[in-house]
Amino acid sequence: MKGVVVGVLLVAALAGCGGGGKHAQPTVTAPHPHAAVAVDKAAYDTMMQRLGHRLSASMKNMYPIVDTQPGAAASLATAAKIEQTEAVVVSVTEAVRAIVPPPPIRADHQRLVQGLHELGVELNELIHVLKKGGPKPFGAYASFASLRTIGQVTANIQKKGYAIDG
């Protein structure tokens, strides 16, 4: 596993692209708020690699995503896996939000935080659809458009010399 970019690119490849529209807010909150911490380049790389590994492993564990009748046993089992992933995404998002990166990547880092937040929102929406159904085709909920943002921002950070992918 290689940090945020591998995790998100893997999920993007498995899930496809697309999506958009309004999303509900995630219902899972981080158990302990993270205190803001300013870091240098080496610490940033290390912290982001660790968080990326955690995110990547969690996202891999939510597959396969089963598309069956909303509320059916298979849908509820899939929703439970995605709820676990959502909890990790929320926790990782809070940890990333608490990092004050070196100045050259602060704007990219903020966009990364927003992309991670949106991923949590998309997962929350998918959980709802698996339990109750939704107005759009199932694939529209499982496309995770936020992963494009996360992948692009991660690539921008790496182009600036940060080794956040391990």
Residue 95's nearest CA partner among 37, 34, 19, 41 is 34
In this structure, what token pair is assigned to residue 75?
A: 């849908």
Rounded to whole angstroms, the Cα distance separating 41 from 63 reads 33
Query: What are the Cα distances from residue 15, in Å, to 61, 102, 159?
Result: 14, 33, 26
Per-residue pLDDT of the chain (166 residues; tens, 9 = 90+): 333 333 333 333 233 333 333 334 433 333 345 678 899 999 999 999 999 999 999 999 999 998 889 999 999 999 999 999 999 999 999 999 999 999 999 999 999 999 999 999 999 999 999 999 999 888 889 899 999 999 999 999 999 999 987 5
**Residue 79: CB atoms within 10 Å:** 22
**Residue 82: CB atoms within 10 Å:** 22
Spatial contact of 82 and 131, defined as CB atoms under 8 Å apart = no
Domain limits, the chain:
3-159
Spatial contact of 106 and 36, defined as CB atoms under 8 Å apart = no
pTM: 0.78
Residue 99 forms beta bridges with which residues? 37
Query: What are the Cα distances from residue 80, in Å, to 21, 68, 74, 83?
Result: 24, 14, 10, 5
